[in-house]
Structure 1
Amino acid sequence: MLTQNRLRQVLNYDPETGVFTFAKGRRKGRTAGTVHDSRGFLKVSIDRQSHLLHRLAWLWMTGVMPRWNVEHINGDHGDNRWANLREGERSQKRQYRAPRRQTTTCMDVWKVGTSFEAMVAVQGVTINLGAFETMDEAAAAITRLQRRARERQATQRRLSA
Structure 2
Amino acid sequence: MNGSVSGTQQRRRWPWPRATKRGNETETKRETQETGAVMGELTAREARALIDYNPSTGELRWKARPESMFAGKKKGCCTRWNNRYAGKIAGSAAERSNGLCYWAVRINDKLYLAHRVAWLILYGQWPSDKIDHLDGDGLNNRIDNFREATQKDNMQNQCLRQTSSTGVCGVSWRDDLGKWRAYLRKKHLGTFDTLLDAVAARRSAEKGEGFTERHGKAA
Identify the TM-score tier after normalising by the shorter chain.
0.5 to 0.7
Q: Determine whether 1:28 maps to 2:68.
A: no
Residue matched to 2:149: 88
% identical aligned pairs: 31
Which protein has the bigger strand share?
1
Residue matched to 1:17: 57
Q: Determine whether 1:58 maps to 2:115.
A: no
- 1:60 Cα shift? 1.1
Q: Identify the structure with bigger relative contact order (alpha carbons < 8 Å, sequence gap 6+).
A: 2
Residue correspondence of structure 1 range 65-104 to structure 2 within 5 A: 65-89=126-150
Residue matched to 2:100: 39
**From 30, 45, 70, the counterpart of 1:5:** 45
Larger radius of gyration: 2
Structure 2 unaligned runs (5+)? 1-40, 65-81, 155-219
State the 4+ residue runs in structure 1 displaced beyond 4 angstroms: 90-93
Residue correspondence of structure 1 range 142-153 to structure 2 within 5 A: none
Count of aligned residue pairs for this structure pair: 93
Structure 1 unaligned runs (5+)? 94-161
Query: Relative to 1, partners in 2 of residues 1:90 and 1:41: Cα closer, same or farther, differing over 3 Å?
Result: closer
Which protein has the bigger helix share?
1
Residue matched to 1:105: none
Residue matched to 2:78: none
- 1:39 Cα shift? 1.5
